[in-house]
Amino acid sequence: MLHNSFKIYPTLLLKNKFIWVAIVAGLIVTGCKQQQGDYIRQSLLDSLTKINPAIGNISAQIKKNPGRAELYFSRGSLFLQMHQLALAAADLHKSIEIDSTKVPYYLTFADINIEAHYVPLAMDYLRRAKKVAPDDRELSIKLAKTYLYLKEYDAAIAETNNVLAVDNTNAKCLLLQGLVYKEKGDTAKALATFRQAANAEPNNYDVYMQLGLLTNYRNKKLAEKYLQNAIRIDSSKFEANYALAMYYQNNNDLKKAIAQYKKMIVSNPQEAQALYNIGCIYFHMDSLEKAFINFNLAVLNAPANADAYYMRGLCWEHRRNKTEAAKDFQNALNLRSNFDDATEGLKRVSK
C-alpha cells in the first residue's frame, strides 16, 4: 500500500503477445480505413504539438530521417509523459525495430505496457532486453519489480541479488528486495534488508516508512523513531504523518495522537480523515462536544463518508436530538446500504 516508488497495476490476460498492435489500431485508426486513420493520427499529432512543440520538432526530423531510432524513442517518451499510450507504444516499437541493442528502448516500452496494464507483454520485452545486456543494473531492477508484481518472488530476489553482488549499497535495489521479502511473508529478512537500505541512504523516505510499519508490532519505540525519521525527510507526505498519529492512537497515547492529527489539519484544514479520527478519540473520552465539532467538520469536508455521518448521529443521539440523529443515520445508510450499526441507530431513535 505504501510502495510509493513502485507502481503496481492489475493484469489483463493477453490472448496474443502482440496485442499492443490492436491497441494502436483501435485508438489511432479507430476501425476506419487506413486513409481515415492517418488523418485522425495526424490531427492528434497536431493537437499534441500545440501542447508540446517539441513533438512537432521531432516529427519533422523523423520525416527527414525515418531510420533514426533515437528520434522515435524521444518522441515516444514524450507521448508517454502525456499518457498517449498508443502513440508511445508505436514509436517505441519502431525504435526497437530499427535498433534492438538499446536497453532504454526496451525499458520505456515495458513502462508503456505496464501503464496500459499489459504486464506479461512488458515482461516479454524485458526478457528480450536481458539477452542484449545481461549485466544492466536498471534492467535487473525493472525485472525484479515486474516479478514482484507477478508474485514470482524467487525470480525477483535473484534479479536484486545480481545488482547487489556488484553494488551492495544500492538503496533502491535494497528497498525493492525488502519489499519482496515483505510480500513473501519473511518479515525478519525484510527488516534486515530495509536496515541495510537505511544505512546505504539515510535520507530515504520510503525505507523509513517500511521500517516504521514493519517494526510497529515488534519494537514500538523504534517504530516511533522510524516514522519520525520519515517525517523529518518529507513532512509533507500524508502517509507518514497519519501512520505516526495512528501509532499513538493504537498505543493509547491519545494526547500525542490528537496533537499529530492537528499538525496534519494545520497543513491541510480539509483533512477529513484526521478530523474524523480526532472525533473518535474525543467520543471515547466522553468529550462529546469536541467529538461533535470534529465529526461535523469531517462531514462537511467529506460528504461521502458514511462513518462520519454515523458518528455525528451518535453525538446527536447523546444530545437527545432524535430528529437530527435519524437524519445522520439515514445519510450513512444512503451511502452504505449494509451499514448495520446505522440501521440499529435508526431503529433506536425512531421508536
Q: d(Cα 65, Cα 57) in Å, to the nearest integer?
A: 12
Q: Which CATH number fits domain 1-133: 3.30.365.10, 1.25.40.10, 3.30.499.10, 3.40.220.10?
A: 1.25.40.10
Q: Would you place residue 197 in the very low, low, confident or very high pLDDT band (cuts 50, 70, 90)?
A: very high
3-state secondary structure of 138: helix
3-state secondary structure of 335: helix
Record the cell numbers describing residue 88, joined without a space: 508511445
Domain residue spans of the chain? 1-133, 135-186, 202-269, 270-351
pLDDT in tens, 42-64: 788 888 888 889 999 999 999 99
Q: What is the pTM of this model?
A: 0.75
Q: d(Cα 10, Cα 123) in Å, to the nearest integer?
A: 14
Q: Would you place residue 33 in the very low, low, confident or very high pLDDT band (cuts 50, 70, 90)?
A: low
Q: Does domain 270-351 have CATH number 1.25.40.10?
A: yes
Judge whether 306 and 275 are in contact, CB under 8 Å.
no
Q: Would you place residue 7 in the very low, low, confident or very high pLDDT band (cuts 50, 70, 90)?
A: very low
Same fold, 135-186 and 202-269: yes
Q: Which fold has domain 135-186?
A: 1.25.40
pLDDT in tens, 163-180: 999 999 999 999 999 999
Q: Would you place residue 238 in the very low, low, confident or very high pLDDT band (cuts 50, 70, 90)?
A: very high
- Does residue 325 surpass a pLDDT of 80? yes
Write the class of the CATH domain 202-269: mainly alpha
Please return the burial class of 139, using the count of CB atoms within 10 Å of its CB with bins 0-12, 13-18 and 19+.
buried
- Kindly provide the b/e burial profile for residues 10-19, where b requires at least 16 CB atoms within 10 angstroms of the residue's own CB: eeeeeeeeeb
pLDDT at 152: 95
